[in-house]
Amino acid sequence: MIIIWMKKYFIYEIKDLKTDMFYIGSHHGTVNDGYICSSTYLKPIYNSRPETFVKKILLEYEENTITREQILILESEKIKEYIENFGNDKIYNRSYNIYGNKIFNSKGLIKINKDGKVKIIKPENLDDYKLLGWSLGSNYSTTAGKIAINNGKNNKFIKQEELEKYLNESWKQGTVSFKPRYWKSTLEKIAINNGKNNKFIKQEELEKYLEQDWVKGSFQTNKRTEWIKSNLDCSTKINKDGKSLRIKQEELEKYLNESWKQGNGYSTTAGKIAINNGKNNKFIKQEELEKYSEQGWIKGFKMSDKLHGKGCKSSVFGKIKINDGKIEKYANKNDLNHFLINGWKVGRIK
């Protein structure tokens, strides 16, 4: 008898019984797929003493009732809830939302190194890392003992004996700073807000705006977050004649009676199971699984050898899709807040 575990969305808690610390995460998979967490900070600690950690499912959703973006927002809220209840010092998470907004600063943390890699950790975790071969300190700089020079456009680190040659070629000692192009309009200006809108002004204009109840700093709008929350119930996808909609679960029967079908309407693999025989991949129906299992096929997808391990990452890998109503582009996570302040939105043009 073959037991099939259906994929779901989870929000889970990992508790460290030794330190009474917590980690909150989300996952798309099954309860027994062996997944621990994605945190590069927590994993080495977990691997050094897995018997001192306990994992618990906090929230669970069927695959077709919620989107990945929605589960990430719920995960952020759960992390903030734990911070309020237990404090920053009891949370392993290094950020609390989908854009990587940081929880911790470097105050009170220490640097460790191993094989050219460096981590910043809490002092109380040092013994766990030492057991895994990590050492205290940075000890990784490729510029140690070298001199910084620049030619007005580029920076370079050179050896002492090379300095005279570069000085003769019009290089100078020191580094030159580069500012992102899209910051040009706000350089040397001050960010202010009135609780609804953000604005960048000149220093000499500040007093006038302060008298009008503006305050210094940017106001982070949460319009997209509020929209997603308001649509959490509208998570059931349906399609008809090439059109797709999201509706509430209780509306499904009405639409099915009007010849709509459940799902996106464009996937040829919806509801099917991925299998492979070590060479080829295939999507099959649920009722065909036993037949293929007898022929040596196994569940799961096999990555092509041409792609596996070759560093074939897309130029937009790790970036976020944004738009200003006319143009779509991909932005780095670190730059996202700047674009949001200037009227861009996350996602495609609707």
Query: Is residue 100 one of the residues assigned to a domain?
Result: no
Average pLDDT of every residue of the chain: 77
Domain edge (last residue) among 90, 108, 133: 90
29, amino acid identity: G
336, amino acid identity: L
18 and 86 assigned to the same domain = yes
**What DSSP character marks residue 190?**
E
Query: Is residue 327 one of the residues assigned to a domain?
Result: yes
**With bands split at pLDDT 50, 70 and 90, how would you rate the model's confidence at 18?**
very high
Q: Which range has highest mean pLDDT (24-28, 183-187, 262-266, 296-300)?
A: 24-28
Which of 70, 68, 71, 14 is CA-nearest to residue 46? Answer: 14
Which of 74, 48, 47 is CA-nearest to residue 59? Answer: 74
Place of tokens 């927002």: 73
Give the whole-angstrom CA distance, residue 136 versus residue 130.
Answer: 8
Q: Hey, what are 135's tokens?
A: 């050492």
CATH code for the domain of 72: 3.40.1440.10
12 and 85 assigned to the same domain = yes
- Confidence at residue 105, expressed as pLDDT on a 0 to 100 scale: 44
- Confidence at residue 124, expressed as pLDDT on a 0 to 100 scale: 75
Give tens-digit pLDDT for 205-243. Answer: 988 998 888 888 776 555 555 555 555 566 677 888 767
294 and 320 assigned to the same domain = no
24 and 62 assigned to the same domain = yes
Q: Which residues contact 267 (CB under 8 A, 6 or more apart)?
A: none
- Confidence at residue 178, expressed as pLDDT on a 0 to 100 scale: 54
More confident residue, 158 or 335: 158
Q: Hey, what are 299's tokens?
A: 């569940």
User: Which pairs count as long-range contacts for 121-126, CB under 8 Å and 24+ apart, including other chains?
Assistant: 121/41, 124/19, 125/45
258 and 295 assigned to the same domain = yes
Is this model's pTM higher than 0.85 or not?
A: no
What domain count does the chain have? 4
Query: Is residue 328 one of the residues assigned to a domain?
Result: yes
More confident residue, 127 or 138: 127
Give tens-digit pLDDT for 70-126. Answer: 787 788 888 888 888 888 888 888 775 544 444 444 556 677 778 767 777 777 777
248 and 212 assigned to the same domain = no
- Confidence at residue 229, expressed as pLDDT on a 0 to 100 scale: 57
Give tens-digit pLDDT for 304-333. Answer: 554 444 444 455 666 788 888 777 788 887
Whether residue 128 is predicted with pLDDT greater than 90 in this model: the reply is: no
- Confidence at residue 143, expressed as pLDDT on a 0 to 100 scale: 62
What are 274's strand-pairing partners? 283
Which of 133, 143, 128, 97 is CA-nearest to residue 336? Answer: 97
More confident residue, 223 or 346: 346
Query: Is residue 160 one of the residues assigned to a domain?
Result: no
71 and 16 assigned to the same domain = yes
Domain edge (last residue) among 71, 90, 109: 90
**With bands split at pLDDT 50, 70 and 90, how would you rate the model's confidence at 157?**
confident
Query: Is residue 335 one of the residues assigned to a domain?
Result: yes
**What DSSP character marks residue 303?**
P
295 and 320 assigned to the same domain = no
325 and 288 assigned to the same domain = no
- Confidence at residue 103, expressed as pLDDT on a 0 to 100 scale: 46
Domain region containing 329: 316-350
- Confidence at residue 12, expressed as pLDDT on a 0 to 100 scale: 93
84 and 13 assigned to the same domain = yes
Q: Hey, what are 45's tokens?
A: 């600690």
Angle at which helices 223-230 and 68-86 pack, to 10 degrees? 110
CA distances from 187 to 115, 128, 179, 260 (A): 40, 45, 9, 53
Query: Is residue 268 one of the residues assigned to a domain?
Result: yes
Provide φ and ψ at 88, rounded to 5°: -55, -35
- Confidence at residue 87, expressed as pLDDT on a 0 to 100 scale: 83
**With bands split at pLDDT 50, 70 and 90, how would you rate the model's confidence at 346?**
confident
Query: Is residue 347 one of the residues assigned to a domain?
Result: yes
Query: Is residue 194 one of the residues assigned to a domain?
Result: yes
Domain edge (last residue) among 90, 112, 139: 90
76 and 20 assigned to the same domain = yes
